[in-house]
Amino acid sequence: MPTRKMKVRKRIALVAHDHKKTDLIDWAYFNRTALAKHELFATGTTGKLLEDKLDRPVNKFLSGPLGGDQQIGALIAEGKIDILIFFWDPMEAQPHDPDVKALLRLAVTWNIPTACDRATADFIFTSPLILDDYTVQLEDYSQYLKRKIK
């Protein structure tokens, strides 16, 4: 089975919809010491808020509705994101819902630990694996396709 290696210093993407931004920023501030060990990526507005609150640089992409989710999805497909913290809003449709779905789909496709709420983010950040070099097992999609075609 193919694998992908995650180094100790993880590349973490953080994204939040507008009504979830306060939750994400609070969570990130509470976990700022743990986050300090890792490299942060974010969609535009979320990234700006994180930089201000954490007083540290964040690799910022476009705002979500303008393509930021797609940019993070592309990095996941290239094996350049290790963890996704995405507090999406279950109560409000987004103009870019297809992009949101695509990002979540790629995270599952590439076996990326993904937290869509604070409880799951806490589980990820209290896992011993966060401090390890960690090998992720990837589904072999060429095998999967062969099985499907038969």
Ligand X SMILES: O=C(CO)COP(=O)(O)O
Choice from 20, 25, 68, 114 touching ligand X (CB under 6 A): 68
Letters for 12-51 (x = contact with ligand X by CB under 6 A, - = none) are ---x-x-------------------------xxxx-----
Letters for 110-149 (x = contact with ligand X by CB under 6 A, - = none) are ----------------------------------------
63 in a known ligand binding site: yes
Query: What are the two backbone dihedrals, phi and then psi, of residue 11, each rounded to the nearest 5 degrees?
Result: -100, 110
Q: Is 66 exposed, middle or buried (0-12, 13-18, 19+ CB in 10 A)?
A: middle
Nearer to ligand X, 68 or 113 (CB): 68
19 in a known ligand binding site: no
Choice from 40, 85, 100, 115 touching ligand X (CB under 6 A): 100
114 in a known ligand binding site: no
Q: Name the strand (E) or helix (H) holding 49.
A: helix 44-54
* Residue 46 and residue 14 in contact, taking contact as beta carbons nearer than 8 Å: yes
Interacting residues of 87 by C-beta distance below 8 A, sequence separation 6+: 15, 16, 17, 20, 21, 23, 24, 116, 117, 118
Is 85 near ligand X (CB under 6 A)?
no
What is the bridge-based pairing of β-strands 39-42 and 83-87?
Answer: unpaired
Cα separation, 74 vs 114, in Å, equals: 16
142 in a known ligand binding site: no
Query: What are the two backbone dihedrals, phi and then psi, of residue 92, each rounded to the nearest 5 degrees?
Result: -140, 130
Binding residues for substrate: 17, 21, 43-46, 63-64, 96
Residues that bind ligand X (CB under 6 A): 15, 17, 43-46, 63-65, 68-69, 100
Binding residues: 17, 21, 43-46, 63-64, 96
